[in-house]
Amino acid sequence: GIQVEQSPPDLILQEGANSTLRCNFSDSVNNLQWFHQNPWGQLINLFYIPSGTKQNGRLSATTVATERYSLLYISSSQTTDSGVYFCAVLNFGNEKLTFGTGTRLTIIP
Amino acid sequence: SQTIHQWPATLVQPVGSPLSLECTVEGTSNPNLYWYRQAAGRGLQLLFYSVGIGQISSEVPQNLSASRPQDRQFILSSKKLLLSDSGFYLCAWSGGGGVAKSFGDGTRLSIL
């Protein structure tokens, strides 16, 4: 099956810093999503981005489908951004999202 | 608007006991429904998904089963829990095309 790897696995930043999280996938996909899991375990859908660039406030994401990677940018980090960020992808002709390994982000006040 | 409910939030069960976790979706019809498990500090593993009433696809061999008795209800069960069944269980729904619309708040299951 498709492999999804995220980097870095852990990231510790000071409040106000910017960060870039990466998601690499091993095969062509027709869906890619970014999720944020907060410290209470809730999974929040951030972006649906099979290709191109999207922005939502301090967060933006870019997927280059031909090169099989996606990037999540977080600017001016806040402590509420802490948690684990997952990307998840969907193969063509499939209904099953495959999740990446996650990046644990810790924002220090 | 659509909402997804999952309960209970936490559960502590002895080894060998049965399990029933329930997930319901409101505000939509004929959703695709999913059960995921997350081991501590790791990513999400898809356990089951369903595209309609009575239609269940299993992704991994395990001690668990799933059922969909109604359009917007998805149940995860076990007859006899194992220690390895401990984890965080999440239900999700989508409108098709694999785009996960939202997740439930999860059930933290501890097996003693």
Tell whether B89 is within 8 A of chain A (Cβ): no
If DSSP codes are grouped into helix, strand and coil, which group holds residue B9? coil
Tell whether A107 is within 8 A of chain B (Cβ): no
Average pLDDT, chain B: 90
Q: How far is CA B26 from CA B6, B49, B72, in A?
A: 12, 18, 7
pLDDT-above-90 percentage for chain A: 77
Residue-wise pLDDT tens digits, B28-83: 889 999 999 998 767 888 899 898 999 999 887 678 999 999 999 999 999 999 99
CB A52 within 8 A of CB A60: no
The DSSP output letter for A8 is -
pLDDT at site A98 = 86
pLDDT at site B53 = 94
Radius of gyration for chain B, computed over Cα atoms and rounded to the nearest angstrom: 13
User: Per the structure block, which two tokens stand in for B79?
Assistant: 């007859």
**Between chains, do B100 and A33 touch, taking CB under 8 Å as contact?**
yes
CA atoms within 13 A of residue A106's CA, in its CB half-sphere: 5
Q: Tokens 């595209």 appear where?
A: B51
* φ and ψ at residue A65, rounded to 5 degrees: -65, -35
Q: Is the pLDDT score of B93 beyond 80?
A: yes
Top-confidence residue, A8 or A99: A8
pLDDT at site A92 = 72
- Nearest CA-CA distance, residue B48 and chain A, Å: 9
pLDDT at site A81 = 96
Average pLDDT, integer, range B13-21: 96
The DSSP output letter for A65 is G
Average pLDDT, integer, range A29-43: 90
Tell whether B44 is within 8 A of chain A (Cβ): yes
Q: Hey, CA dihedral for B13, B60, B106, A71, is it positive or negative?
A: positive
Choose the mutation target among B5, B37, B46, B47 for the interface with A, i.e. most A CBs under 10 Å: B46
Tell whether B97 is within 8 A of chain A (Cβ): yes
**Between chains, do B34 and A90 touch, taking CB under 8 Å as contact?**
no
- Nearest CA-CA distance, residue B100 and chain A, Å: 8
Residue-wise pLDDT tens digits, A52-103: 999 999 999 999 999 999 999 999 999 999 999 999 998 777 777 888 989 9
- Nearest CA-CA distance, residue A20 and chain B, Å: 19
Give how far the C-alpha of residue B40 lies from the chain's centroid of Cα atoms, to the nearest Å. Answer: 17
Tell whether A106 is within 8 A of chain B (Cβ): no
Q: Tokens 């500090």 appear where?
A: B41
A100 chain-B contacts, CB cut-off 8 A: 43
pLDDT at site A39 = 86
pLDDT at site B39 = 81
CB A1 within 8 A of CB A93: no
pLDDT at site B97 = 63
